[in-house]
Structure 1
């Protein structure tokens, strides 16, 4: 994939921490090396999965409902997540990143899917 599935801006490749939400941020790579976070895969919404750091998992409900395409004020919070697995040996990985959306491709795919599922 060469373009963002949300805004169609060209994607770039970068090193990322395992968190699909904040892993694109170089600061999070430092946190990974320092062992500051744990990473867990959850079923977040209707079978859609994300791997999130412990901070992003708890903070996920702060996303505005409109961001996900909800028009009824619905929020997706940690209390709705279904545990799938813990990431035992988190590593820096390559992923594509949209500088326009400030998000990893893994998160952008989730975002595009959830917006079209409404």
Structure 2
């Protein structure tokens, strides 16, 4: 990937070993507790597939809906997701992430 800066806040992206979760997989707290969570692949909006841990799928509705091309008043939530599968291979892998917002590239490329 050629991306060097976070599209949300402009911070230089770093490489880090993280969990499969596209939202919190690089967060230090989550790295310490990732074996306690279940991880799922789901289709969220507009055909985007994301891997999210069982906290972050619920938290997804807290995003500003305009990030995803929706009107400001749109209510978003995990009940709208199409659940694809449970991710059983939860090994840590290296990938780009933003050290400010802690999001990994799969999420950042969508927003």
TM-score (norm 1): 0.79
What are the ranges of 5 or more consecutive residues in structure 2 without an aligned counterpart?
Answer: none
2:6 counterpart of 1:4: yes
CA contact (8 A) 1:44 1:76 kept: no
Tell me the alpha carbon deviations over residues 38-92 of structure 1, each in whole angstroms, 9 at most, x when there is no partner: 1000000021111000111122112232444533411321110001111112111
User: What is the match of residue 104 of structure 2?
Assistant: 104
Q: Pick closer, same or farther for the CA change 1:7–1:58 going to 2, 3 Å.
A: closer
- Supply the RMSD in Å over aligned alpha carbons: 1.9
Moved over 6 A (4+): none
Q: Which moved more, 1:35-44 or 1:54-63?
A: 54-63
- Secondary structure of 1:102's aligned partner: coil
- Secondary structure of 1:103's aligned partner: coil
CA contact (8 A) 2:64 2:72 kept: no
Q: Pick closer, same or farther for the CA change 1:37–1:44 going to 2, 3 Å.
A: same
- Secondary structure of 2:44's aligned partner: strand
Specify which structure has the higher proportion of helix.
1
TM-score (norm 2): 0.84
Q: CA deviation at 1:2?
A: 2.2
Instruction: Write the distance in 1 (CA, Å) between the matches of 2:93 and 2:4.
Output: 18
Q: Pick closer, same or farther for the CA change 1:101–1:54 going to 2, 3 Å.
A: closer
What are the ranges of 5 or more consecutive residues in structure 1 without an aligned counterpart?
Answer: 112-118
Aligned length: 109
